[in-house]
Structure 1
Amino acid sequence: MGMKHRIAAALLSAAAFAAPAQAADQAFFSNVSGVWTGPGEIVAGKYQGTKFNCSLTGTPVADAEAGIAMDGSCRVGVFSQKMSAVIRKVSGDYEGRFLDGAAGEGLDITAGRVDGDRVLMAIERKQLEGAMVARMLDANTMNVTVSVNVGDSMVPVIGMTLARNLDTMAVGSVQ
Structure 2
Amino acid sequence: MVSRIFSPKVGLIAATSIAAFAATQPAGAASRDKVFFESAAGAWKGPGEIVAGKYKGTKFTCNLIGEPTTDGDAGIKLDGTCRVGVFKQPMSAVITQTGSTYKGKFLDGADGKGLDIVSGAVNGDKIVVGINRAKLNGAMIARMQDNNALNVTISVKVEDQMVPVIGLALTRDMDQMAVGSIKP
Runs (4+) of structure 1 exceeding 3 A deviation are 170-173
Quote the Cα distance in structure 1 between the aligned partners of 2:167 and 2:61.
11
Shift of 1:65: 1.3
Counterpart code for 2:32: A
TM-superposed deviation, 1:73? 0.4
Q: Give, in whole Å, the separation in 1 of the partners of 2:99 and 2:31.
A: 14
Aligned to 1:17: 26
**In the TM superposition, what whole-angstrom CA distance separates every residue of 1:145-170 from its partner, at most 9, and x where no partner exists?**
00000111100000000000122223
Structure number with the higher helix fraction is 1
Report the Cα offset of residue 93 of structure 1: 2.3
User: Would the aligned equivalents of 1:64 and 1:89 in 2 still touch at CA under 8 Å?
Assistant: no
State the distance in 2 between where 1:52 and 1:64 align: 34
Gaps of 5+ in 2: 1-24
Q: Compare 52-61 and 88-97 and name the one that shifted more.
A: 88-97
TM-score for both structures, normalised by structure 1: 0.86
Contact 1:131 1:146 in 2 (8 A): yes
Percent same amino acid at aligned positions? 58
1:148 alignment partner AA: V
Q: Paired residues, what number?
A: 159
RMSD of aligned alpha carbons: 1.8
Q: Given that residues 64 and 88 in structure 1 are in contact (C-alpha distance below 8 angstroms), is that contact kept between their aligned partners in structure 2? A: no
SS in 1 for 2:26: helix
Measured in 2, the distance between the counterparts of 1:90 and 1:111 equals: 9
Query: 1:146 matched to which residue of 2?
Result: 154
1:61 has 2:69 as partner: yes
Q: Which amino acid aligns with 2:58?
A: T
1:88–1:95 Cα contact (<8 Å) kept: yes
- Say which of 57, 60, 73 aligns to 1:52: 60
Mapped to 2, the partners of 1:31 and 1:56 lie a distance apart of 14
Match status 1:164 vs 2:172: yes
Letter in 1 for 2:71: D
CA distance in 2, matches of 1:135, 1:47: 24
Q: Can you list the C-alpha shifts for 1:87-142, whole angstroms capped at 9, x where unaligned?
A: 00022321000000000100000000001000000000001100000001111000
Q: Which structure is higher in RCO with an 8 Å CA cutoff and minimum separation 6?
A: 2
Equivalences for residues 23-102 of structure 1 within 5 A = 23-102=31-110
TM-score, normalised to structure 2, is 0.82
